[in-house]
Amino acid sequence: MTRRVLVVAQAGVVPYAEALEWQRSLAQARIDGRLANDVLLLLEHPAVVTLGRNSHAGHLLSRDGIEVFEIERGGDVTFHGPGQLVGYPIIDLTRHTPDLHWYLRTLEQALIDALAALGVPAGRNPGYTGVWTRGGSRKIASIGIHVKQWVTWHGFALNVTTDLSQFGRIVPCGIPGVEMTSVDRELGAGSREQELWDETVAAVIRGFAQAFGVETELLDDIQLLLTWRQADGVERKTCHGLA
């Protein structure tokens, strides 16, 4: 069996629109064969609500970091914000198992393994994609993916130290009455925030290595991954206002 590498890039806090653009660029590069390995982007978003869109209107992504995004893909209302570990795997499923359900379940498995390592027992809730704790009564991670020519983007959002009251603004994932939770909440008080974050990131990376059967390589600088964009003639976005 050939050696499969997953490049893990930690990008810090990234505005939603920018991360979406990265994902699309990376996925297209993976489709075109310009990107040799699978990639896992790990990041945080500033507080943002995303609404899936199901109407006739065209692309409606706003680019300047506003609080509510109406995006054109299907899917439910969700919240992203500080303290939530967001992962966007750009994975070529033809190199793994070309099966969307296998991918969803393996994604869940990677997170379940990671949470187990942190001391948080978690599992699936049949019929409701995502990762749940306390026998399916609390949701700790949401999953929503996009696939084009077997290459994936979008991914998961795992609450680590997320301010859970923010979910009160929405009906998370369109499931009324769902109770959201976080690693912090499940472990109880006393965990130090930065430590907990670092431990969670490490556990998630190990979870991916195990569930997907890949070797992980850490990449310090996300820009290295994106440099080919310039070669492509894709200009970096700049803002020239009209005075």
Partner 1 sequence: MATNVYMEALSPTMEEGRVVKWHKRDGDPVKAGETLAEVETDKAVMDLVARADGVLRQVAAAEGQTVAVGSVVAVIAAPGESVGPSVNAPPPVTSGSGKRDTGNVVTVTAPAPVAVAPLPAAAPADATRVKASPLARRIAKEAGVDLQLVTGSGPGGRVVKKDLERTPSQGAPVASAAGAAVPSPVSRVPFPERTGAAYQDVPLTQIRKTIAKRLAASLGPIPHFFLTTEVDMERASEARDALNKQLGDQGKVSFNDIIIKATAHALTKHPACNAWFQEDHIRYWREVHIGMAVAVEDGLITPVIRNADMKPLADIGREAKELAEKARSRRLQPTDYTGSTFSVSNLGMFDIDQFTAVINPPEAGIIAVGSIVQKPVVVDGQLTARRRMRITMSCDHRVIDGATGAAFLKTLKQMLENPLAMLL
Residue ranges binding partner 1 (CB under 8 A): 31, 51-64, 66-70, 72-77, 98-104, 129-130, 143-150, 154, 168-170, 174, 238-242
Q: Give the nearer residue to partner 1 in terms of CB position, either 5 or 104.
A: 104
Q: What contacts 24+ positions apart, CB below 8 Å, involve 224-230?
A: 225/7, 225/9, 225/26, 225/39, 226/22, 226/25, 226/26, 228/29, 228/34, 228/35, 229/25
Min CB(221)–partner 1 separation in Å: 26
What is the C-alpha to C-alpha distance for residues 93 and 147, in angstroms, rounded to an integer? 9
Q: Which residues sit opposite 142 in a β-bridge?
A: 157
Q: Give CA separation, 173 vs 10, 18, 35, 79, 178, in Å.
A: 26, 23, 32, 9, 9
Q: Give the nearer residue to partner 1 in terms of CB position, either 72 or 179.
A: 72
Q: Give the nearer residue to partner 1 in terms of CB position, either 76 or 163.
A: 76
Min CB(35)–partner 1 separation in Å: 16
What is the C-alpha to C-alpha distance for residues 103 and 211, in angstroms, rounded to an integer? 10
Residue of 47, 54, 90, 48 whose CA lies nearest to 72: 54
Min CB(21)–partner 1 separation in Å: 10
Give catalytic residue positions.
173
Q: Give the nearer residue to partner 1 in terms of CB position, either 134 or 169.
A: 169
